A and B are shown apart, each in its own frame.
Chain A
Amino acid sequence: MSIRNDPVLRDKLAAEYVLGTLKGGARRRFEDLMRDDMALRRVAAAWQERLMPLAEFSGQQQARPHVWGAIERRLDLRRPHAAWQFWRGGSLAFWRTLGMASLASALLLAGVLYSTLVNVPRVDYVATLVDERAKAALLLTADRNGRELTVRLVDPAPVASDKSLQLWAVPRQGAPRSLAVLAGGGVTTLRLPDSVVGTDVAMLAVSLEPRGGSPSAGGPTGPILYKGSWAPMM
């Protein structure tokens, strides 16, 4: 039976799938269908948004402290971390997910860049810094011969007047190095510091800091808004 062209049936099955009354073989068939049918996944997701708030009708219960203790132990959460260390911490899965999206946006931007910079062929590294949804916010280009680092704000979120964006190079070992406190918008050109494009730089990141930049010598103090890494230009 094909349900592809029957929106009423699709909606009914999705609703009963989320409610839980779709059982056994019918449930498995519906899950198989969803695998190849993005639109059907969306129909089911909409029913989840509608019905999952039923969970709140139960009222609240405070968990006993040992529950968090057990979670903490199982996930080994007590290892001390400096606030910024999680950037390069263990979550490879996150980077794998983000990888494809940021690669796509890097390629797209590299194309745009190439067409505008065709007369300036000395860019040899490019980095796209993306937000948590893999949307490009900053574009960095490095010219190692001319020792210039250019930062273009592509589409960053607005920053409150008492805050600044600060750009960091995060090495594989040791504390992040501040590259610049970024001005309001547009293009900023900086002198390219030593070892910013080296292989020891694991990542570039932009944090939200008090106006003027991080008050700490040890690295960023605010949340990381954007990040990315260098890709060499051919």
Chain B
Amino acid sequence: MRDTHDIEPEQLGRWLYYAAQGDAAAFRALYDATSPKLLGYVLRILGKRELAEEALQEGFVAIWHGAATYQAHLAAPMTWMTTIVRNKALDLLRRGTHDAALDGPVFSPEIMLALQDPGATPIDALLISRDAKALAYCMSMLEGTHRQVIGLAFFHDLSHGEVARHLAMPIGTVKTWIRRSLERLKTCLVKDQQA
């Protein structure tokens, strides 16, 4: 069974390819398929719907113009698009006053529950892509505080020092946690691919 949360990367790649040639209908299909995820994401970064929609708009304009330079061998379509929209959101974040957004949760409540206790909220039942499920499984193996540090850094574009200040922890501890968490995620994702 295929649902809209796991559109095949091949399909996204085809739409992107046709969009690169000026096919507006393919571009619209790409937008419909991916914009809910991308908006959900940048809304967590920016905290305000107006700003998040502005980032989404800037992102899709850049995707249209950049579609011809997309390199399928370097990135999956969703990865490439997410990176573009992320950068637009971070540009907006740097331009504004962004301290307020730091207090909100970066993960949706269901994801939070699943990461804390995959037994009670199965990761497989989440409405996310296969890749995101694999990552969620590996994130659930990290300690809660380590997950929080990774989430803070990624969603709010924080430095080690900023994460440390926000959590009132020594910077050395934050650095170690991040390094170890990234190593563990890498090892865990390799295992998952082989399984």
Contacts and interface: CB of A to CB of B under 8 A. Distances in A.
Given A70-B57, A71-B61, A91-B68, A52 B82 contact: yes
Nearest to B114: A57
29 contacts: A20-B158, A49-B79, A51-B135, A52-B82, A53-B128, A53-B132, A54-B135, A54-B155, A57-B108, A57-B132, A58-B41, A58-B43, A58-B106, A59-B108, A60-B36, A61-B40, A62-B36, A63-B39, A63-B53, A67-B35, A68-B35, A71-B31, A71-B64, A77-B27, A89-B21, A91-B68, A93-B20, A93-B69, A132-B14
A50 B189 contact: yes
Interface in B70-127: 72, 74-76, 78-79, 82-83, 86, 106-108, 110-111, 127
Contacts of B135: 50-51, 53-54
Interface in A154-207: none
A12 B179 contact: yes
Contact of B61 (A45, A52, A75, A96): A75
Contacts of A114: none
A16 B177 CA distance: 12
Interface in A21-78: 21, 23, 41-42, 45, 48-64, 67-68, 70-72, 74-75, 77-78
A132 to B, nearest CB: 5
- The B contact surface, by secondary structure, is helix
Contacts of A11: 186
Interface of B: 14, 17-18, 20-24, 27-28, 31, 35-41, 43-44, 49, 52-53, 56-57, 60-61, 64-65, 67-69, 72, 74-76, 78-79, 82-83, 86, 106-108, 110-111, 127-129, 131-132, 134-136, 150-151, 153-155, 157-160, 163, 178-179, 182, 185-186, 189
Contacts of A23: 159
Nearest to A24: B159
Size class of A's contact patch?
A: 35 or more
A211 B157 CA distance: 53
Given A45-B75, A71-B60, A97-B68, A57 B18 contact: no
Contacts of A86: 18, 21-23
B157 A48 contact: no
Contacts of B28: 68, 77
Contacts, number: 165
- The A contact surface, by secondary structure, is helix
B111 to A, nearest CB: 5
A67 B60 CA distance: 10
A172 to B, nearest CB: 16
A55 B116 CA distance: 18
A45 B74 contact: yes
A97 B53 contact: no
A19 interface: yes
Given A20-B154, A23-B159, A133 B72 contact: yes
A61 B52 CA distance: 10
A21 B40 contact: no
A45 B40 CA distance: 23
B22 A55 contact: no
A63 B56 contact: yes
Contacts of A63: 35-36, 39, 53, 56
Contacts of A48: 75, 79, 83
